[in-house]
Structure 1
Amino acid sequence: MIKIYIIIFLGLASFQAVCQNEVDVTEVMCWGRICELTEKQLNKCGPIKLAFATSSSEAEQLANEDIANGTIFLLLAGGISPTIIATDAAFERKYDIYFNEFGCTGPEYELVTAYNSVVFEYLTQQYGKGWYKEIRKDVVGLKDWKKKD
């Protein structure tokens, strides 16, 4: 029982230390790892803008901008509580992307699918088809995209 209290205490202490960081870098928990993204990167990333997109071509453009900026996301639809899979962190590091779950509400399915399709193409161009076997299977649009491939 004491081990549990120690783990909780250390976890809260490290969380507080991260929150008190005053550097111009916002540390955000992106699934299994701490991502260091600047506030500018976070505010200009595609997932934030996707909520205001009105067409698939606009969603694709947002994905292309994220690729050009080096802040690439794979978008997930979720529920009340996020689903974290043990292999997420390794996948994110290996392929230099970030998983982003919208939760209960988010952009329209077709917009998320269009965004992710561009990222799937990018991953295939950069890494071949090996990422297929490593990616989590609930990424929005993955099944449909694989059928086209």
Structure 2
Amino acid sequence: MKLKLLLIFIFLTSEIALSQIQDTIRGRVISSITKYEPNGPVYVLEKGTTNGTIADSLGVFELIPIMDKEKYILEITAGYYEKLEYEYKSEWTKRTKPKSIVVSANCDLDKVAKDLRKTGFKLYLMGGIAPIANSKSDKRFEKRYKVKYYDFGCDAVVYECVEKFNRRTIMFMDLKYDGKWRRKVRQDVIGLD
């Protein structure tokens, strides 16, 4: 009986000791576009395992790996950004502040400029599964200001890219129409302040 109690005590104290020396991966996921946290949930997974976590609203996460290693490969998924495999070195686990990890998206503004020459300006809308149809006043607005509303519906897009595209159009419209257009624009335009 004493031997069983001694073994249980050794097991419990070794588990506590192991948990105290175990590495903790600390990170903050930021967008290459905005330099802030990406829009939408950020998932972090230790590659080859089911060990993962979700970053908070600031993109910050903590993950206790299954085993201590020299380096950890993290799989990071953030909205519609490109999936990232990130090598996190074990010496970084001693940091008190999270390591910055950048997720990338290609916002091809040159493509937008080419599209503008062909099709004219677009104002991208907050989409959903079922886009909201244009009303008669929306159609009058499009005709008067030579702009088209565009809703992605359920297509996958990086929100920050769309916001960047819209800001360019909004800036042009403010210059051309002296801001008067803002009173009549749809309120679901992305990036409209």
Per the normalisation by structure 1, the TM-score is 0.53
Structure 2 counterparts to residues 1-149 of structure 1, below 5 A: 54-56=105-107, 58=108, 60-86=109-135, 87-143=137-193
* Contact persistence 1:63–1:118 (CA under 8 A): no
* Contact persistence 1:73–1:98 (CA under 8 A): yes
* Contact persistence 2:105–2:158 (CA under 8 A): no
Closer, same or farther in 2 for the Cα pair 1:122/1:67, shift >3 Å? farther
Q: Secondary structure at the match of 2:163?
A: helix
* Contact persistence 1:63–1:116 (CA under 8 A): no
**Partner letter of residue 63 of structure 1?**
V
Closer, same or farther in 2 for the Cα pair 1:76/1:119, shift >3 Å? same
State which drifts further: 66-75 or 120-129.
Answer: 66-75
Unaligned 5+ segments in structure 2 are: 1-103
Please report how far the alpha carbon of residue 130 of structure 1 lies from its aligned counterpart in structure 2 after TM superposition: 0.2
Distance 1:77 1:135 in 2: 13
More strand by share: 2
Distance 2:119 2:152 in 1: 20
RMSD over equivalenced CA pairs, Å:
2.5
More helix by share: 1
Distance 2:113 2:182 in 1: 20
Structure with higher Rg: it is 2
Per the normalisation by structure 2, the TM-score is 0.42
**Partner letter of residue 106 of structure 2?**
S
Distance 2:169 2:185 in 1: 12
Distance 2:112 2:169 in 1: 7
More contact order relative to length (CA 8 Å, sep ≥ 6): 1
